[in-house]
Amino acid sequence: MVGLLFLVLPLAGLIIRAPWRDAAQVLTSEAATSALRLSLITATIAALITVLLGVPLAWLLARPTLPGASLLRALITVPLVLPPVVGGVALFTLLGRSGLLGRPLYAWTGFAFPFTPYAVVLAQVFVALPFLVLSVEGALRTADRRYEEAAATLGATPLTVFRRVTLPLVGPGIAAGAVLAWARALGEFGATITFAGNFPGTTRTMPLEIYLAVETDPGAALLLSVLLLATSVAVLVLLRGRWVRRW
């Protein structure tokens, strides 16, 4: 009960204290709309990338015969427990303009990740991927392998089995994992500000905008927070009805 209050009260406080009179002006400001647009676009792209990268990884992990599976799982879990700032520093060390891979990349193409929206997406994928992998792996594990065997005896090639049986059966799990990853990406702050920087319009996502506003205009920070909260809750509710129902 105390736990529930602890979870709900701060959010209630947010809504109660928000200066609703200024809402129209703050929420339609150039800074707010561009930050929200950037956040929604990058989080959605990041969620799609985590699905593309994460589903095969989860499928690999769920195989009972994979050697070193526990080590692999531990590696995947690391970003989950790592402070996002450290993740940002690590990404910067690798892909920054003078980073291990970043320097040759810059020398070759003249392109560097930091201070671009690509870096925002990378940072989000880094922190969101474990959520998707673990969620999909769970779905794959509970899915009954014998349906795949039944499909094989009906003449389905391994590819057809994966496409027509495995994927549909774990579909709800993938959807749930993607929603989780999207929500995590939307809220990403530490790795983004360390790796991507804080440029309005290109890397300043909503969480960064809110952080800045807390220093300069606390009232606006409250309103922006409510906006971000409302956006993610709305998306979760919409998707719940459609995709995650079977959970």
Partner 1 sequence: MVGHGGLAATLVVRRPDFVLDLALEVAAGEVVVLLGPNGAGKSTALRALSGLLTLSAGQITINGVVVADSTRHRPPHQRPVGVVFQDYLLFPHLSVLDNVAFGPMSRGTSRSAARRIAEGWLERMSILDLAMAKPRLVSGGQAQRVALARALATDPELLLLDEPLAALDARTRLLVRSELRRHLSDFGGAAVVVTHDPVDATVLADRLVVIEHGRVVQAGSPSEVARRPQTDYVARLVGLNLLRGVASGHLVSLPGGGTVQLAQSATGPAYVAFSPAAVALFARRPEGSPRNVWLGLVTSLEPHGAGVRVEIRGAPDGSSSILAEITPAAVADLEIVPGSSTWVAVKASDIEVYPDQARD
Q: Give the binding range for partner 1 (CB under 8 A) out of 53-61, 104-112, 147-155, 175-183.
A: 147-155
Q: Are 192 and 207 in contact (CB under 8 A)?
A: yes
If the CB atoms of residues 30 and 144 are measured against partner 1, the closer one turns out to be: 144
Which of 18, 58, 119, 151 binds partner 1 (CB under 8 A)? It is 151
Give 155-205 as a DSSP string.
T--HHHHIIIIIHHHHHHHHHHHHHHHHHHHHT--HHIIIII---TTTT--
Q: Does 142 bind partner 1 (CB under 8 A)?
A: no
Place of tokens 């309103």: 223
If the CB atoms of residues 69 and 169 are measured against partner 1, the closer one turns out to be: 169
If the CB atoms of residues 12 and 167 are measured against partner 1, the closer one turns out to be: 167
If the CB atoms of residues 56 and 168 are measured against partner 1, the closer one turns out to be: 168
Q: Which whole-number Å values give the CA distances from 110 to 96, 113, 209, in the listed order?
A: 12, 10, 29
Q: Give the binding range for partner 1 (CB under 8 A) out of 12-20, 33-41, 145-153, 204-212.
A: 145-153
Return the closest-CA partner of residue 139 out of 177, 104, 102, 108: 177
Which residue ranges make up the site for partner 1 (CB under 8 A)?
144, 146-147, 149-157, 160, 164-165, 168-169, 171
